[in-house]
């Protein structure tokens, strides 16, 4: 008997960030899980108990469930079709390269089309990848056309809300579970999949497919809007000599506002928020919802403007010309506790500083190998001290806890110029100033 009472046979298509986490967590709930990916190397690694990305807590859970015999990997869609009562599609939906910001759905459609010919009996296919509203109906049509079981194959949309760095916790104990369905049977089966978290009191919300698709992008758009809101407040504070952190603390106490996602600085990056708001804007434009297009355009513009702000501060601190100046950058990941450098504000800034002639040395506790693949021209330093040796300027751009433990006195003794820009507003400016540093913080005096 699994933790949830009823053990289901679950397949997971795609073993990237979302898929591998989902497969491991489904197995941990007690289900029998078979995961597939077109990338043989990924599968081989996962089957050995190794995660191909940095995610605290995931690797031990992967090993635990491999050892318990609840989780297996394959490269055969025939095996997956035969095995699963429920098939989760967890492949990527990156930003399309057409320049319009829309989502590239080719991986989702390929996954559905690879699976469908092997669906010989009544089964449930579940979309988990973030998709534009209306996509689920298109997937259903393609699956029904290609599956031997035809319309016996049901479909549900079950969006994910996991944050990198907290993926396991967010998968096993999410704030809510959303079931976009077209039948009671699909709703019941989805509730059996998630029986354990539902029994613990986590709300399960059943709705139509379109609403469920919109819930996901609306949630990410709200978070992005909240971040851009506090960042324009930072601009206003800076123009007024006010302090955006004190402002965020004060308004955040109001429960209607809330302090979470009111941290100002460099704005949002990563593989989700930026591409999701752009895809949502493209979908809104398609449907002629101009007010949503305007809102999301403004959120995106404010967000990208934060990077310019830090570059301007850097230029100003270095006398207006970056060429030949030595800049130490602390952080390359798009946020702490992650090795993900997709749309990373810190890496984008580092690259632009280098493009303007600065000699940039980057440090990050875990993201340097990924960063080096994208920007091999930057120097990657083994330690903060190595990065800061002889620096004319130090930039704090990803707020790893390690950086809060830096001794400003010790660092001061090895730089050429003790000037710090705290792009994430999380270092103790008073301590750095007391150690003789000039500290510049966007939005703070």
Active site residues: 272
Is position 163 an interface residue for ligand UGA (rule: CB under 6 A)?
yes
Does the footprint of ligand UGA cover residue 334 (CB under 6 A)?
yes
CB of 40 to ligand UGA, least distance (A): 25
Closest CA to 367 of 343, 336, 413, 345: 336
Span from 44-52, 91-99, 202-210, 265-273 in contact with ligand UGA (CB under 6 A):
265-273
Per-residue tokens: 207: 């709705």
60 in the Ramachandran plot: left (φ > 0), alpha (ψ -120 to 50) or beta? Answer: alpha
Compare residues 326 and 363 and give the one whose CB is closer to ligand UGA. Answer: 363
Residue from the set 26, 131, 162, 387 that interacts with ligand UGA by CB under 6 A: 162
Q: Which of residues 267-286 bind ligand UGA (CB under 6 A)?
A: 267-270, 272-273, 276
* Residue closest to 172 by CA, chosen among 64, 24, 8, 69: 24
Q: Work out whether 263 is an interface residue with ligand UGA (CB under 6 A).
A: yes
Closest distance to ligand UGA from the beta carbon of 310 (Å): 13
Binding mask 174-193 for ligand UGA (x = CB under 6 A): --------------------
14 binds ligand UGA per the rule CB under 6 A: no
Under the criterion CB under 6 A, does residue 408 sit at the interface with ligand UGA?
no
Q: Does 171 bind ligand UGA (CB under 6 A)?
A: no
The radius of gyration computed from the CA coordinates of the chain, to the nearest angstrom, equals: 24
Q: How far is CA 208 from CA 137, 155, 157, 178, 183, in A?
A: 11, 11, 9, 10, 9
Residue 225 and residue 28: Cα distance in Å, rounded? Answer: 34
Q: Does the protein bind ligand UGA through residue 443 (CB under 6 A)?
A: no
227 binding ligand UGA? (CB under 6 A)? yes
Beta carbons within 8 Å of 215's beta carbon, 6+ residues apart: 159, 178, 207
Choose, by CB under 6 A, the member of 37, 154, 164, 300 that binds ligand UGA: 164
CA distances from 170 to 28, 58, 255, 260, 336 (A): 14, 12, 22, 16, 16
User: Which CB, 123 or 231, lies closer to ligand UGA?
Assistant: 231
Under the binding rule (CB under 6 A), the answer on residue 259 touching ligand UGA is no
Neighbours of 172 (CB within 10 A): 20
- Measured from the Cβ of residue 37, the count of other Cβ atoms closer than 10 Å reads 24
* Residue 349 is a binding residue for ligand UGA (CB under 6 A): no
Residue 273 or 317: the one with the smaller Cβ distance to ligand UGA is 273
Least distance from ligand UGA to the Cβ atom of residue 322, Å:
24
d(CA 335, CA 93) in angstroms, rounded, equals 21
Query: Which one of the spans 109-117, 162-170, 181-189, 314-322 is the region binding ligand UGA (CB under 6 A)?
Result: 162-170
Distance CA 337, CA 366 (A): 8
Q: Are 176 and 158 in contact (CB under 8 A)?
A: no
Q: Which is nearer to ligand UGA, 318 or 348 (CB)?
A: 348
Binding mask 119-158 for ligand UGA (x = CB under 6 A): -----------x----------------------------
Whether 385 contacts 354, CB under 8 Å: no
Residue 223 within binding range of ligand UGA, rule CB under 6 A:
yes
Rounded to a whole number, what is the distance in angstroms from the first to the last CA of the chain? 60
Query: What minimum distance in Å lies between the beta carbon of 162 and ligand UGA?
Result: 5
Residue 342 found at the interface with ligand UGA (CB under 6 A): no
Closer CB to ligand UGA, 193 or 245, in the complex: 245
Closest CA to 226 of 199, 198, 256: 256
Contacting residue, 220, 221, 346, 426, with ligand UGA by CB under 6 A: 220
Cα–Cα distance measured from residue 371 to residue 444, given in angstroms and rounded to the nearest whole number? 29
Question: Tokens in use for 29?
Answer: 């709930």
Contact between 19 and ligand UGA by CB under 6 A: the answer reads no
The tokens for 183 are: 């039948």
**Residue found under tokens 């995660």:** 51
CB count, 10 Å around CB of 372? Answer: 16
Identity of the residue, 32 or 263, whose beta carbon is nearer to ligand UGA in the bound complex: 263
In the bound state with ligand UGA, the residue whose beta carbon lies nearer, of 113 and 170, is 170
CA geometry: angle 344, 387, 371, nearest 5 deg: 30
CA 332 from chain centre, in angstroms, equals 15
Piece in contact with ligand UGA (CB under 6 A), picked from 104-112, 149-157, 159-167, 369-377: 159-167
| Number of residues this chain uses to bind ligand UGA (CB under 6 A) | 22
Residues that bind ligand UGA (CB under 6 A): 130, 160-164, 220, 223, 227, 261-263, 265, 267-270, 272-273, 276, 334-335
């Amino acid at each position: 008997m699994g933790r949830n009472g009823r053990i289901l046979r679950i397949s997971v298509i795609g073993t990237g960030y979302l898929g591998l986490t989902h497969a491991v967590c489904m197995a941990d709930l007690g289900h029998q899980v078979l995961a597939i990916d077109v990338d043989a190397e990924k599968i081989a690694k996962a089957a050995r108990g190794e995660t191909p990305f940095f995610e605290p807590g995931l690797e031990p859970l992967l090993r635990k469930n491999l050892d318990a015999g609840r989780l297996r990997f394959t490269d055969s869609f025939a095996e997956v079709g035969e095995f699963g009562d429920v098939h989760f599609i967890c492949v990527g939906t990156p930003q399309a390269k057409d320049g319009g910001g829309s989502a590239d759905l080719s991986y989702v459609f390929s996954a559905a089309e690879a699976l469908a010919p092997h669906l010989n009996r009544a089964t449930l296919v579940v979309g988990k990848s973030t998709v534009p509203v209306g996509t689920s109906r298109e997937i259903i049509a393609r699956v029904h056309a290609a599956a031997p079981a035809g319309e016996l194959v049901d479909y549900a949309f079950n969006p994910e809300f996991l944050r990198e760095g907290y993926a396991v916790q967010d998968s096993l104990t999410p704030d809510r579970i959303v079931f976009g369905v077209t039948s009671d049977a699909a709703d019941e089966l989805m509730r059996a999949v998630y029986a354990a978290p539902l029994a613990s009191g986590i709300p399960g919300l059943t709705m139509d497919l379109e609403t469920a698709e919109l819930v996901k992008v609306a949630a990410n758009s709200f978070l992005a809007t909240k971040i851009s809101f506090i960042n324009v407040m930072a601009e206003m504070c800076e123009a007024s000599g006010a302090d955006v952190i004190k402002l965020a603390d004060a308004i955040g106490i109001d429960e209607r506002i809330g302090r979470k996602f009111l941290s100002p600085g460099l704005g949002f990056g990563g593989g989700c928020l930026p591409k999701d708001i752009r895809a949502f804007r493209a979908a809104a434009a398609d449907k002629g919802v101009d007010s949503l297009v305007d809102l999301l355009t403004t959120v995106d513009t404010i967000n990208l403007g934060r990077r310019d702000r830090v570059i301007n501060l850097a230029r100003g601190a270095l006398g207006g010309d970056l060429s030949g100046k030595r800049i130490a950058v602390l952080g390359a990941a798009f946020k702490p506790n992650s090795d993900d450098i997709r749309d990373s504000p810190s890496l984008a800034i580092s690259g632009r500083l280098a493009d303007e002639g600065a000699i940039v040395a980057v440090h990050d506790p875990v993201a340097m190998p990924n960063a080096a693949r994208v920007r091999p021209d930057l120097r990657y330093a083994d330690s903060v001290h190595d990065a800061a040796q002889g620096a004319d300027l130090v930039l704090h751009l990803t707020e790893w806890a390690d950086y809060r433990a830096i001794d400003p006195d010790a660092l001061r003794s090895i730089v050429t110029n003790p000037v710090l820009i705290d792009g994430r507003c999380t270092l103790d400016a008073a301590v750095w100033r007391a150690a003789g540093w000039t500290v510049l913080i966007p939005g703070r005096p």
